[in-house]
Homo-oligomer: A and B are copies of this chain.
Amino acid sequence: MTKILIVGGVAGGASAAARARRLDEQAEIIIFERGEHISFANCGLPYHIGGDIPQRESLLLQTPQSFKRRFNVEVRTFNEVVSIDRAAKRVTVRNLLSGEQYQESYDKLLLSPGAAPIRPPIPGLENPHTFSLRNIPDMDRILAALDRDQPSHATVVGGGFIGLEMVEALHQRNIKVSLLELSEQVMAPVDREMANMLHQSLVQHGVDLKLNTALTGVSLLDADPAEPEATGEFNRVSAHGGGLRLALSTGHSLDTGMLILAIGVKPETLLASQAGLELGTRGGIKVDEGMRTSDPDIFAVGDAVEEREFVTGEPALIPLAGPANRQGRIAADNMLGRNERYGRTQGTAICKLFDLAVASTGLNEKSLQRLGLPYEKIYVHPGSHAGYYPGAFPVSLKLLFSPTDGKILGAQAVGKDGVDKRIDVLAVAQRAGLTVYDLQELELTYAPPFGSAKDVVNMAGFVASNVLKGDLAICHTEAILNRRTDQLVLDVRNPGELASNGSIEGAINIPLDELRGQLASLPRDKEILVSCQVGLRGHVAYRLLANEGFKVKNLTGGFKTYQMVTARY
């Protein structure tokens, strides 16, 4: 009889326990969870705070009792594994309620401790108005503070998934929100021009977006919350309970009634490292393809481990629910003698922000540049479904691919509809090793309410294939901005579009449908950089001009991409 101990009872740990039981009815399986809850919906926490998920109980997917009944797995909540004796194959456990310590032996041990919110070394963070959000008690504390303090203003630090979801949640509660982001963009998995669509949405929704801004200090606001009616000094940032004065790297200060730290997470590796298990170069627990640590009887999964990035195979920290669940399953298989392998991780992810979705898979351009990998990129902005059927919205898609063989390196999309579907399709295509040529041929569901006969992904495939085959020479916004004297910009949109959408300074305007008649007016000694709204008419103009012997390039993604790249927030 195999005895399996599991440290951590959320995504990876719970998946592993259930899988282990399905494989082996006799195994003894114990989960140690230092918190109160196992298998809760951690991805749902912001949505309960925002009110989209009305019932707190719906976040509690399993209880120790239900897990015992269904899987005959013993779950010890409020029990923390504090050390591992690898030689004796034994862990020491502290019961957090009684304070008692005890030991438990194992045949196989699975570490699924997750990751902890990064808490920056900023003075003053220990105060009753500052929170992070990683589990149910965190959420309960935030909800209690919202009730207690009735803040009219809140500040979120960090523009990642949880940061953006908390901005939306607080906004839905009619709280004015400031978002502080250290870098020049929110949502690090995508590139800055894609994130600019999020920046625009944040500003349009009244969020006080402060990019390139660090939190440097926190102090309690002077306030007399007991008697605002008597003093007439109602606190600006909360109806009750005072608030905080934040010092910012810009030199400004910001008064706020609630501070949410969503800077990111770091792998929980203390237990592993104290046991002498090998850590990787990125600071996570190092595991092989079978999710085995440097000790063959100890496995690790989830946010605490290093995975291999899909394109490069390099170690990476990719704290996502999907991989954690699959790794848990594979670890259970291997703890029970099978030989399953976890492959590489693309990091496919999505985030809802107001009426937008932003999603990505594979490497982004920033990473490709940092790694020095050769790439090409194209942008398209087709409708989420047939334009003549109501409810279609543009899907702004960026496709990164190998300039040599056309392999897909990564993809990013932003839009109001159909973003998840397109990134899913591209994630499968990338995983299967397809090229941009293959994207042309994909047969995707089409009826007017769902797509187009030439889907967004087909369009991206056409454009990228044209580039690789030499049927299209493209340029990017940087080339437009830094154009040489032997280059000129030709805008082939209709004059009305320039007036309403804006235009590139210094560009010549000849509408596409008049271009054929005005070729004589174009110089043959200059390179013509063609631009239209989204790149489609620009391509037709490009082909016309190239066929007529002009030197020409098309701005991929057109003026819409130009605006995304040049926007400043």
Chain A residues within CB distance 8 Å of chain B:
11, 18, 21-26, 41, 43-44, 47, 52-53, 58-59, 61, 66, 69-72, 161, 320-326, 329, 343, 345-352, 357, 359, 361, 386-390, 419-421, 423-425, 427-429, 431-434, 438, 440-451, 453-455, 458, 462, 471, 512-513, 516, 539-540, 543-544, 547-548
CB of A431 within 8 A of CB of B442, answer yes
* A512 surroundings in chain B (CB, below 8 A): 70
User: Considering the chains assembled together, what is the distance between the CA atoms of A52 and B386 in angstroms?
Assistant: 13
| Min CB–CB distance A130 → chain B (angstroms) | 25
26 contacts between A and B (CB under 8 A): A11-B453, A41-B386, A41-B388, A43-B453, A44-B386, A52-B389, A52-B390, A58-B387, A322-B453, A323-B443, A329-B462, A345-B443, A348-B444, A349-B446, A350-B450, A352-B447, A352-B449, A361-B445, A420-B450, A424-B444, A425-B428, A427-B442, A428-B442, A428-B444, A431-B442, A432-B434
* A516 surroundings in chain B (CB, below 8 A): 72
User: Considering the chains assembled together, what is the distance between the CA atoms of A431 and B432 in angstroms?
Assistant: 10
* A70 surroundings in chain B (CB, below 8 A): 512-513, 540
CB of B69 within 8 A of CB of A513, answer yes
Shortest Cβ distance from A361 into B: residue: B443
Task: Find the residue from A388, A450, A540 having the highest chain B CB count within 10 A.
Answer: A388
Q: Which of B52, B323, B449, B544 contacts A25 (CB 8 A)?
A: B544
Q: Which of B53, B343, B445 contacts A423 (CB 8 A)?
A: B445
CB of B513 within 8 A of CB of A22, answer no
- Do A348 and B443 form a contact, CB below 8 Å, given A25-B547, A25-B548, A357-B450? yes
CB of A326 within 8 A of CB of B547, answer no
7 smallest beta-carbon distances between A and B, as pairs? A432-B432, A25-B547, A350-B445, A321-B453, A22-B543, A69-B513, A348-B443
CB of A43 within 8 A of CB of B429, answer no
* A23 surroundings in chain B (CB, below 8 A): 471, 543, 547
- Do A59 and B388 form a contact, CB below 8 Å, given A443-B361, A443-B431? yes
User: Considering the chains assembled together, what is the distance between the CA atoms of A177 and B59 in angstroms?
Assistant: 44
CB of A441 within 8 A of CB of B41, answer no
Shortest Cβ distance from A440 into B: residue: B326
* A446 surroundings in chain B (CB, below 8 A): 43, 320-322, 348-350
* A455 surroundings in chain B (CB, below 8 A): 322
User: Considering the chains assembled together, what is the distance between the CA atoms of A453 and B161 in angstroms?
Assistant: 15
- A347-B443, A419-B445 given. 16 additional CB < 8 A pairs? A11-B453, A22-B543, A23-B471, A25-B548, A43-B386, A47-B449, A53-B388, A69-B513, A348-B444, A349-B445, A351-B447, A420-B450, A421-B424, A424-B444, A425-B428, A427-B444
CB of B420 within 8 A of CB of A443, answer no
User: Considering the chains assembled together, what is the distance between the CA atoms of A433 and B427 in angstroms?
Assistant: 15
CB of A424 within 8 A of CB of B425, answer yes
| Min CB–CB distance A171 → chain B (angstroms) | 16
User: Considering the chains assembled together, what is the distance between the CA atoms of A446 and B329 in angstroms?
Assistant: 18
Shortest Cβ distance from A321 into B: residue: B453
Q: Which of B58, B346, B423, B451 contacts A388 (CB 8 A)?
A: B58
- Do A447 and B389 form a contact, CB below 8 Å, given A22-B543, A516-B72? no
User: Considering the chains assembled together, what is the distance between the CA atoms of A320 and B444 in angstroms?
Assistant: 11
User: Considering the chains assembled together, what is the distance between the CA atoms of A430 and B129 in angstroms?
Assistant: 52
* A321 surroundings in chain B (CB, below 8 A): 446, 453
| Min CB–CB distance A231 → chain B (angstroms) | 43
CB of B445 within 8 A of CB of A427, answer yes
Task: Find the residue from A24, A26, A59, A326 having the highest chain B CB count within 10 A.
Answer: A326
Shortest Cβ distance from A426 into B: residue: B428
* A352 surroundings in chain B (CB, below 8 A): 447, 449-450
* A361 surroundings in chain B (CB, below 8 A): 443, 445
